[in-house]
Amino acid sequence: MRFTFVKCHGSGNDFPLIDARAIVLGDAEWAQVARALSDRKGDVGGDGILLLTASDDRHVFGMRMFNPDGSEAETCLNGLRCTARLGFEVTGTEAGQVRLKQSAAQARVVAPIAPGVATIETKVGPVSLTPHDVGLTVGEGPFVEAAIPGLPSDRAFTAVAMPNPHLVAFVDAVDDGELVRLGDWCEGAPALIPTRANVSFVELREEGHAPALFVRTYERGVGLTNSCGSAMAASTLAAARTGRIGWGVETRVFNRGGMVRAKAEVGDVVTIAGNATFEWDGEVEVDPVSGALGPLRILGRREDEVAAWEAMLAGL
């Protein structure tokens, strides 16, 4: 089956994005497509695949996201920005509610975060801090900067469902080795959190008189990643919940992939504005049953967008 797609990224979180509104495949077949296209050893590679899906009575369009291991994520906020951009382009709109796997989010086109950088703002929430919603099998009340019984870490975590599950800890300095060990443990689907979880270590940094966050994430179904949009959102909420930043205050949130503008609002709603960069367009044959991948054909490159993003990074 031939797929045309846009290779895109949000804060360095990169994906092949497919307009799937007229494509009929089962979940198992999409999982095979995701494994094939996301494989970093192949010609495409990515942190998963994004699907633009059809509209309905309440949503301008929908999004699905499959991880490199074939699992489907409840949401992906970096991917949502890219999918929303494509959705707005093909529908001729600039704002609307987007259907996700288990929830919905508001998205709209906003002023660029840097010259030439296409920017989308998303708003999600109210999110949940109920342990059951995060996937934890312990706890009656929310874990907000608290030890989680049974977790092999002495750190204090805030547990947030975005609705995908996040465990967020604030640290003086990120230790990748420690983060990977804990992420690997969660990835094993332990009894404490059988649906697994995204784990983030967050540094609070001062920029002049304004606080900023640096987020490093072990992403469920992916591993250690340069960027995870829902982790940046969860970290922003955790920072507000613990008094590190103010409610309703726009904060710059950094990761290895780039930067977004974020704010947590009273009522546990999080808004993020960040890039939705299209790098190149391609097409490729994928067998949805076996996952066999054919040769890649590049249809065009978006060199101006790539240059604008690189210029922004150089200025950070």
Catalytic (active-site) positions: 76, 228
Do residues 6 and 17 touch, judged by C-beta distance below 8 A?
Answer: yes
Q: CA 196 to CA 305: how far, in whole Å? A: 35
Q: Which residues contact 141 (CB under 8 A, 6 or more apart)?
A: 131
Q: CA 10 to CA 153: how far, in whole Å? A: 30
* Separation in Å, CA 221 to CA 133, 153, 196: 18, 21, 9
